[in-house]
Structure 1
Amino acid sequence: MNRNIWNLYKNSERGQNAIEIFNFNEHDDLFDKTSKIYDFCSEFMGDISEKEDFINTLFSVYENVSVSQLSLKENFACNILNNFDNEIEEFYKSERYVTCFSRNGDLLSQWRAYANQGKGVAIGFDLLNFEDSIHQHLKGSVVEYNEDVQKKSIEEVIKTIIEYYEYHRENIDWSDFGYEKLVRYSIIDFLHRIVSTYKSKGFSEEQEFRFEYFIDGNINKKDSNEINFRSTETMIIPYIILETEYNNYKKRFQNEDLETEPTFLNKKLPIKEIIIGPSLDFDLTKSSIEEILLQHDYKNVEIKKSAIPYRI
């Protein structure tokens, strides 16, 4: 289901507008970005109240969902909504890792915050091929900052799922399933898919697109992932390394003598464009980047200069 939704998104107008996504970095990370990328635990990201804000928004919505708005039996709807808060603890158990991009590769705020005051580069990736390049199972999303849109989306999810189950209730024997609990679980399961796509409007300038790696114990299991850590001035941050399908293949079969190699759609991360930060010497930096790209067999990557007249 996730794959189908994602394919529909990629072919939609909104998806086409996000055809290229940018990651701002100090340029000494460029060598790493040709083969791997880091996914940081969402609890340690810049928006410190992201999950709490989502849960507060969720409560404010479902408390105001009127039974009269639902085309179903009143007692059933009340039982679903009144016991909904018992399932909210699932959000606190979740472990999410995200890689954040911007849909704009030349923003002054991003140069200042993430690229050492403009002394870095913005790496533009081909969005439509990025997910297929990565070995791990990811979910891509455009971040929504409008609170009214956020609330409306949650409300529609709750209403649609409740009405769907109630409509089909008489067709199946649900006696062994704890029917109302199952409906609540379905709502929570779907909301899990959008919890990391909402942020405070204070971050809207970032124009963020993110890929999420969700350790759910099913598709992605924690015991099969190596959790790494890096330190900052204020905290120690857990992260995982997202690797390409090709690199994963080489690592798994490095000691075996294989006669043939499978075909990979992308052996490298799909870099389309690199924008050199406004505080760097463009010509010297461009020459070095061209050499790095050549060493890693990248062709037709456009190298551009930031249009922002910023200097420190």
Structure 2
Amino acid sequence: MNDVVYHYASPEAALGILEKREVWGSLIHSLNDHSEYKHFFESILTTLPRLFGQEAGFDDMIDDLSVNISSVKDLNVFVVSFSEKGDLLSQWRGYCREGGYAMGFNREALKSHFADSGVDFRKVEYGIPSDDLLTSAFRQIVHVYGTDPTARAPAIYMAEQWMLRAAPFYKDEGFREEAEWRAVKVLGCDDDRVFVRPLRGSLRPTCRLALPCVELNDAAHPTWRFNIGLRDVIVSPGRDREFRSSAFSFACCKHGIAGHDVSYSSVPYIDR
């Protein structure tokens, strides 16, 4: 399904999504691929001198940006991951080692809902930004910084904001098979949507992001009370697929989640 993106979820996570009609995002610094986030900033600071090194005031600008960027990198950036691929071995291993579900959501419904909620929802790019993109993004910023001393602080702020918005959506080429989409939100630790949970022997800062939810009144399907954009569900590899499929459908019925297709993974994977 080209208009569906999948969120890989353990049974506990899947049940939470159905009960609360929300997904949970992790602090980007706690992700397995968190080094990609910090590497993005370093690569930009390395590339800009090659593109703008001859511009007036650029050396001062890169110094200012290098000093300020550490505070931007340490902001509380929360990420929820989705994938265009609903049956990927690396994702089953990463998120569903003891079983789980790839929950496929209508991508356009997510995009519209997240936009209204101030959540940045975009497809991940693999590699680093092209020279053309960086030139387009920074040309005016560099010019203003170098020609108007009174506008230097706003210029640095604009550069920081561009980098902050772009950084969560770039990863190394080695991750390309994931075909990832991300929902990204910056939140303070005092926000009501932020909490801390135990996970795999540590503590994991987490945020709640509400899913699109339309209340239903369907006489033909009285148990369907909410449409959360769930279109397709794939049951993870392993034994007891029929039971795990029927259990998921029962949970949907229990929590009033509207109907969707359910199928089985075709990945020949057994966790040893």
| TM-score by shorter chain over 0.5 | yes
| 1:270 CA drift (Å) | 1.4
- 8 Å CA contact 2:226–2:258 kept in 1: the answer is no
Q: Which residue of 2 aligns with 1:206?
A: 178
Q: Which residue of 1 aligns with 2:262?
A: 303
Q: Which residue of 2 aligns with 1:31?
A: 15
Q: Which residue of 2 aligns with 1:56?
A: 42
SS of aligned partner of 2:126: coil
Q: Which residue of 1 aligns with 2:203?
A: 236
1:127 aligned residue (107, 113, 122): 107
Residue-by-residue CA offset, 1:116-163 (whole Å, 9 max, x unaligned)? 15x21110011111254468531012112223x456533432225435
Q: Which residue of 2 aligns with 1:223?
A: 190
1:288 and 1:43, CA in 2 relative to 1: closer, same or farther beyond 3 A?
A: same
Q: What is the TM-score when the length of structure 2 is the normalising length?
A: 0.81
Q: Which amino acid aligns with 1:228?
A: F
2:155 aligned residue (166, 183, 190): 183
**Distance in 2 between the 1:201 and 1:78 partners?**
30
Q: Which amino acid aligns with 1:57?
A: S
1:207 and 1:184, CA in 2 relative to 1: closer, same or farther beyond 3 A?
A: same
Q: What is the TM-score when the length of structure 1 is the normalising length?
A: 0.72
| 1:59 CA drift (Å) | 1.3
Q: Which residue of 2 aligns with 1:75?
A: 56
- 8 Å CA contact 1:123–1:271 kept in 2: the answer is yes
Q: Which residue of 2 aligns with 1:274?
A: 233
| 1:45 CA drift (Å) | 0.5
- 8 Å CA contact 2:125–2:169 kept in 1: the answer is yes
Q: Which residue of 2 aligns with 1:192?
A: 164
- 8 Å CA contact 1:61–1:155 kept in 2: the answer is no
1:100 and 1:242, CA in 2 relative to 1: closer, same or farther beyond 3 A?
A: same
The RMSD of aligned alpha carbons is 3.0
SS of aligned partner of 1:75: coil
- 8 Å CA contact 1:143–1:197 kept in 2: the answer is yes
**Distance in 1 between the 2:201 and 2:247 partners?**
33
Q: Percent identity?
A: 19
**Distance in 2 between the 1:302 and 1:191 partners?**
39
Q: Which residue of 1 aligns with 2:221?
A: none
Structure 1, unaligned stretches of length 5 or more? Answer: 1-15, 69-73, 216-220, 248-265
| 1:235 CA drift (Å) | 2.5
- 8 Å CA contact 1:154–1:191 kept in 2: the answer is no
| 1:106 CA drift (Å) | 0.4
SS of aligned partner of 2:257: coil
- 8 Å CA contact 1:24–1:115 kept in 2: the answer is yes
- 8 Å CA contact 1:150–1:198 kept in 2: the answer is no
- 8 Å CA contact 1:58–1:151 kept in 2: the answer is no
Kindly indicate which of the two structures has a greater share of residues assigned to strand: 2
SS of aligned partner of 2:37: helix
Structure 2, unaligned stretches of length 5 or more? Answer: 215-224
Deviates more, 1:287-296 or 1:185-194: 287-296
- 8 Å CA contact 1:133–1:268 kept in 2: the answer is no
Residue-by-residue CA offset, 1:173-212 (whole Å, 9 max, x unaligned)? x78xx21222222121122110111122332222211101
- 8 Å CA contact 2:52–2:58 kept in 1: the answer is no
| 1:31 CA drift (Å) | 2.3
